[in-house]
Structure 1
Amino acid sequence: MTSSISPSPTILLPDLPPKTLVGIDLITFTSTPNFHGIRDLPPGWHFLYTGTTESLSLRSGGWFYITPPSPDQNHALVPTTPTTPDILIWKWNPDTETLSPLLATNNTDKQEALRHKANLGTIWQRGGLFRYCSRVSPAALAQQSAGRPVQYEIDEEDEAEGRQTWRDLTDQMTPGLLTRVVGDAVVDVDGRARWMVTSASSALRDNDVIPGITDTDPETAKEEMEKVTGEKESEFSFLPVDLKRTWREGAIGRERTEAAQDRSWALGDLVQRVSGEERDGEAQVLGELQFTFLMILTLMNYSCLQQWKRLLELVLTCRRAIRDREVLVSGVLRLLLLQLKRCDDVEGGLFDLDGEEGGEFLRKLLIKFRRSLYEVVEVTESVVKTEFEKLEAWVKEEYDWELNREVVVRRGMVQLEDGEQVELDMHDDDEDDELGEYAPMVVDLGENATPDDVNTEED
């Protein structure tokens, strides 16, 4: 390739130190002295991130959008539609050991961008650009590690499947969603927007109070944490999911009790609060599920893990929404199956990030959801049922989770090694069945009880 040929969409990473962890979408690799960037980026959303080591280091990255080669409706998703070819340049900051865009407000950055673009043809000819792949073959990694130009055969069918998986994992992402969650985009020298995130980024509700570092004042705590990490951290503005209060203001008695057991009202309220349009509000819920999962997958971000769990718990504990919000619920089930198939991509495993609880929280949610599904939906042909059956079959085969509690023996006699027989009783579902410690209790409030006393409940 020569400089006179119009280049394909390319990321340039000048001055990136060797042995740096580099990730683009669903693949990761270690940089070499000959690595200068990634070429042939397909249209759509991408997430580029780096880390000083493969584990136990701060990771940072940014979301960006590659415009299609010809005008179509997707252009409406992009805040600014550049007129020049998609050549994105990220400079390495040795002080913070992170990548950052060359800024439009900096004249030095503008000159540097022109210089790197002028050298693009030479870098290409020297084999310094890694061809974008949704999946990297061992042969490609071996050639890249040796510092040689990467030349290998791509399984077109496998590559197409990998690209489709990434599109399905990001099809609800929009500039509006990223701006709402992450904050305003950084605009580079060519007017392209990038939303920057790090593994330390967090929502305020998920911040831990660390003596000597954090403070009771949120702004003071944020400033202190920036001193520790060496850079300004973005604060996530997630959808306000409150699982302890899922009823409307002023609800009393049966209405409040039912809203605590069926969180459909809370889901509908959340959809309305994020957008006046039902479909757009539901898309925001799906988009945030996509964003949080991918930040777990790539950055191992703790706050995103907590929000991902909160959103799943809200949706999977709804009953009326199974029928009234069929598109949203079926979309969540379809997305969840796709995400679970990528769980092993998370270093150490997705469920291991959650400590001792592991995947138990999700198994219990799916068991409860299955029970609600078959009580609410009577017809055999239901898109929610169809998507759930696919998910149920997969977790049964992959994790050996039995979601049909009717086929599980919950009480029986077990013989110990010494021959003694004892009765075993499982209490996993006591909360649903209102047994044991969850059994209802009659309380005498006395003759002078007020309505407020009657409707007082613990969260």
Structure 2
Amino acid sequence: MDTDYDSSHLGQVNFYSKKRGQCLPTAEEKPDLHSSASVDPDIARQLFEEGAFLFFLDVPEKTEFGIDTTSWNVGEKFKGLKMIPPGIHFVYYSAVSKDDVTSPRTGFFHNFKSREVLVKRWDHAHEGMSVEVVSAEETERLSLNVKNLDGYLGAYPYTSYKKWVSLTRWITDDTVERLSPLGPNRSVFSVQQLESLPHISSRAGTEAPPKKLKAEARQNPLTDLPDMKVIESTRIRFSDLSLRPVTTAGAVPSDITRLNMDRSGALEKLISTDCTGVESEALAEIQFAFVCFLTGQVYDAFEQWKKLVALLCSCEESIHKRPQLFIDFIGLMFFQLREVPRDFFVDIVSQENFLTQTLQGFFSIVENSPDVDEALRSKAQKFKQHLQKQFSWDFSTEVGEDAPTIVED
């Protein structure tokens, strides 16, 4: 789909086109900003006057740069983007070598204010965004010259904006602050950032002297490899959803079974603690994880997304307590499943059958529980029919070996 402005009156930037990588599913588009795709002139004018500006200075030619669901390979005149609709966006980039090898992706979330001018600079030594803050004087100079620099700024791909809004409706400033890594630029990395640990002598439990390290290396070459750990400040700070058996003092076995099959307690704890009592923040974390995976190419985010989806699909008690949360959850899933390529679902079904089993459990709870909110029941039924038609998924069979084990009294 073409996602460019007809921006002849606003200036153009030289971009290269590049075929989308196939290593991870992605909803990105790589439009040619020289094309003549039309956007209503009044909307374009309003965005130019009220939209935000992102200056990304000194970015090398051919670097992959993107915002939300669209990315490009930049040309020599590139200095950033204009006409960014106010709100939360995800900006990302990858260095590209002289041999056209693209490095892992790095990105960050930012809530752009109307007419904001955000300035970032490329760090050539580290092949990424500089951690140094651009001076207020330089930011002011660029702010006063945005019209003169128009020809160096690409236009935000507005025709894909509705898609972005549908994928990030629940993400707020609080979400970004809560989940983003704490490291420089609050950057989200597609690959783990590691640091080496001091070599510890297995016998003494202390840092080994050089002579001992050499002796150990001769006996076992693998001991010469450094011990590595993830740099904590680069982790996305997802909620801890580790599965722990639920027990209650004095509970009979059948009660323990019920508590572990119905994960409403875990959801209520998530909302009351991590989400500070705001139930929509649970949906926001699902969207944050999905965007980090789909656009940021962070595989750990996909694992978190699966855990969150599985949690919300296993809450019989909370469905009665929070019907609107689950109505909104269905809408969220509808838009997310539209963006993942069809062949990716085939991989899921063939390997783990995760989505069909998980959603089957959710539909079963809604259909079979008494006194379920009628609006929720109706929306769940329509969503189920949509999935059956769109993906030919079968929700009629019982969940197999992954079903919880029943504990008899």
Alignment TM-score, normalising by the size of structure 2: 0.71
Partner of 1:65: 111
Specify whether residues 373 and 99 from structure 1 end up closer, same or farther in structure 2 by C-alpha distance, changes over 3 A only.
same
Amino acid at match of 2:400: D
- 1:338 CA drift (Å): 0.8
- Superimposed CA distance per residue, residues 114-169 of structure 1 (whole angstroms, 9 cap, x where no aligned partner): 45445533321xx22111114xxxxxxxxxxxxxxxxxxxxxxxx3xx42332232
Partners of 2:370 and 2:88 in 1: how far apart?
36
Distance 1:392 1:133, change over 3 A: same
Aligned twin of 2:198: none
Which residue of 123, 139, 161 maps to 1:113?
139
The partner residue of 1:90 within 101, 107, 120 is: 120
Identify unmatched segments of 5+ residues in structure 2.
1-8, 11-47, 195-221
What is the alpha-carbon distance in structure 1 between the residues aligned to residue 321 and residue 174 of structure 2?
Answer: 26
Match of 1:366 in 2: 359
**Where do 5+ consecutive residues of structure 1 fail to align?**
69-84, 135-158, 187-193, 204-209, 216-220, 224-231, 407-427, 443-453, 455-459
Q: Is the 8 A contact 1:322 1:376 kept in 2?
A: no
- The residue number in structure 2 matching 1:429 is 400
- Identify the match of residue 338 of structure 1 among 332, 335, 338: 335
**Partners of 1:92 and 1:98 within 8 A in 2:** yes
Residue 297 (structure 1) aligns with: 294
**Matched residue type, 2:172:** T
User: 1:15 pairs with 58, 61, 85, which one?
Assistant: 58
2:330 counterpart SS class: helix
Sort the Cα spacing of 1:341 and 1:365 in 2 relative to 1 into closer, same or farther, 3 A: same
Aligned to 1:393: 385
Matched residue type, 2:106: S
- Pairing partner for 1:122 from 148, 152, 155: 148
What one-letter code is carried by the residue in structure 2 that aligns with 1:400? S
Q: Answer yes or no: is the 8 Å Cα contact 1:246–1:266 preserved in 2.
A: no
Matches within 5 A, 1:255-294: 255-275=255-275, 277=277, 280=278, 282-294=279-291
Q: Distance in 2 between matches of 1:272 and 1:39?
A: 39
- Judge which range, 253-262 or 383-392, deviates more: 383-392
Could you tell me how far 1:365 is from its partner in structure 2? 0.7
Q: CA offset at residue 341 of structure 1?
A: 0.7
- CA distance change for structure 1 residues 101 and 12 in 2, over 3 Å: closer, same or farther? farther
Q: Shift of the alpha carbon at 1:307?
A: 0.7
The one-letter amino acid of 1:133's match is: P
Q: C-alpha separation between the residues in 1 aligned to 2:276 and 2:396?
A: 37
Q: What is the CA-CA distance between 1:63 and the residue it aligns to?
A: 0.9
Q: Percent identity of the aligned residues?
A: 23
Q: Which residue of 2 aligns with 1:240?
A: 240
CA drift at 1:394: 2.8
Instruction: Indicate which of 131, 137, 157 corresponds to 1:133.
Output: 157
Out of 44, 56, 63, the position equivalent to 2:87 is: 44
Bigger relative CO (Cα 8 Å, ≥ 6 apart): 2
C-alpha distance in 2, partners of 1:185/1:233? Answer: 5
For 1:306 and 1:61, the matched residues in 2 are separated by 19
